[in-house]
Amino acid sequence: MTKRVHIGLISTVFVVLLLAVCFAGCTSQAPATPATPAATAAPSAAVPADTTAPVAVTTAAPQTLVIATTTSLYDTGLLDYLQPMFEKKYNVKLKITSQGTGKAIELAKNGDADVLLVHSPSQELAFMNGGYGLNRRSFASNSFIIVGPAYDPAGIKGMTPENAFATLYQRGANKVPGAVFVSRGDGSGTHTAEKAIWAGAKLDYVNQVEKSGTWYVEAGKGMGETLQMANEKGAYALTDEGTFLAYKQKLGLVPVVDHGASLLNIYSVMTVYNDKQPADKIAMANNFVNFLIAPDTQTAIGNYGVDKYGKALFIPMSVTVPVAKAGYVGDHTSPATDVKPTVTPTPAPTAAATTASK
């Protein structure tokens, strides 16, 4: 009896095990492999890659745009301030070279720049009339000022620019202590304005002023360096107000003459043109011209320097359009669209011409 019970029990267990094996065989799946992260999984040939994963985007290399400009725009930091705004908007890299206006114009004429950015209207108009430029637009202004030692050894404070220069010439030639003038002497826009003031004072720059004695020093340098030289010598100098404000904390000089029609200083930009200039360069140069006269940029120019110097270094054309000799203030609202010269050259005003009252 006991043996039968054991056999029966064994048989029952065997049947139960057999049923369990059959049941498992019918319902089990292949063991799951560990999940592979979506970012690192290699897609199979039959299944598209996960479109939500990061995709590398190939971006075209930035185009390079060469800007030949005057030292005053560089020394004040304005171009450093505006550069990232333009580069980000147009995926372009600006290469800025600062020279006196005369040298900047020569670079442009030689085809070594794509944009010309200066402040000498008579030279700009000659450049345009020679067929070297397109789309001249004036975008800002400020004033030239005559600075010198606070004790004013030449006694010119408050004079007109022309009377101040005539007095400096007379007292410098007579070796009055402290009657020393440091000139840019580099063919720059500031140097051109200086020569116009000498002409307004009825003095021949080449034959009477230049090389006339130790009282008249030609620096042959940019505006910032010229101011530092004048400071070291305790001398006078003609400077744009923006650069003076930027260097003011380093100088012992003060403004002594800051009113007069001949002190108006206008900044303009133009696209460089020659028959070998690539179309894409002209198009990007036009973008830069339009950028400078755009409302947002004009606002940025009007705000530049206020927090640091207590006043703007430049007055945008959107705030004030100065009254000047015909042609000196260029168009400041129309979009730059020309890709070739479209006007017949006309005579440019002489460098000695003075501007009308502001």
**70-87 pLDDT tens trace:** 988 888 999 999 999 999
Q: How many domains does the chain have?
A: 2
Flag whether 332 is in a domain: no
Q: Are 301 and 316 in contact (CB under 8 A)?
A: yes
Instruction: Mark whether 116 and 226 lie in a shared domain.
Output: no
Rounded distance between C-alpha atoms, residue 206 and residue 346, angstroms:
27
State residue 164's pLDDT score. 98
CA-based nearest residue to 138, from 28, 298, 282: 298
Is residue 24 included in any domain, yes or no? no
pLDDT value for 349:
52
Same domain, 164 and 235: yes
Model pLDDT for residues 241-286, shown as the tens digit of each residue = 999 999 999 999 999 999 999 999 999 999 999 988 899 999 999 9
111 within a domain of the structure (yes/no): yes
Q: Are residues 279 and 231 in the same domain?
A: no
Do 244 and 274 have their domain in common?
no
Q: Specify if 290 maps to a domain.
A: yes
Predicted local confidence at residue 44, as pLDDT: 35
What integer pLDDT is reported at residue 99 of this predicted model?
Answer: 87
Strand segments, DSSP code E, in 14-60 are none
Query: Which residues of the chain fall short of a pLDDT of 50?
Result: 1-58, 345-346, 351-358
Confidence at residue 36, expressed as pLDDT on a 0 to 100 scale: 38
Q: For residue 41, tell me if it sits in a domain.
A: no
Residue 189 lies in a domain: yes
Do the beta carbons of residue 300 and residue 81 sit within 8 Å? yes
Tell whether 112 and 203 lie within a shared domain: no
Q: Which residue has the tokens 């640091």?
A: 308
Q: What CATH number is given to the structural domain containing 273?
A: 3.40.190.10
89 and 133, same domain (yes or no): yes
Same-domain pairing of 250 and 228: yes
pLDDT at 195: 96
The verdict on residue 120 lying in a domain is yes
pLDDT for the residue 29: 39
The reply to whether 175 and 282 lie within a common domain is no
pLDDT of amino acid 59: 59
- Secondary structure (3-state) at 105: helix
Q: Tell whether 108 and 95 lie within a shared domain.
A: yes
Q: Are 135 and 154 part of one and the same domain?
A: no
- Identify the pLDDT of residue 235: 97
Question: Is the domain of 229 the same as that of 185?
Answer: yes
Domain range holding 156? 144-263
pLDDT at 264: 96
Asked, for residue 219, whether it belongs to a domain, the answer is: yes
281 and 134 inside one domain: yes
CA atoms within 13 A on the CB side of 349: 17
Q: Which residue has the tokens 């944009």?
A: 115
Pair 138, 267: CB distance under 8 Å? yes
Q: Which of 222, 245, 263 is the last residue of a domain?
A: 263
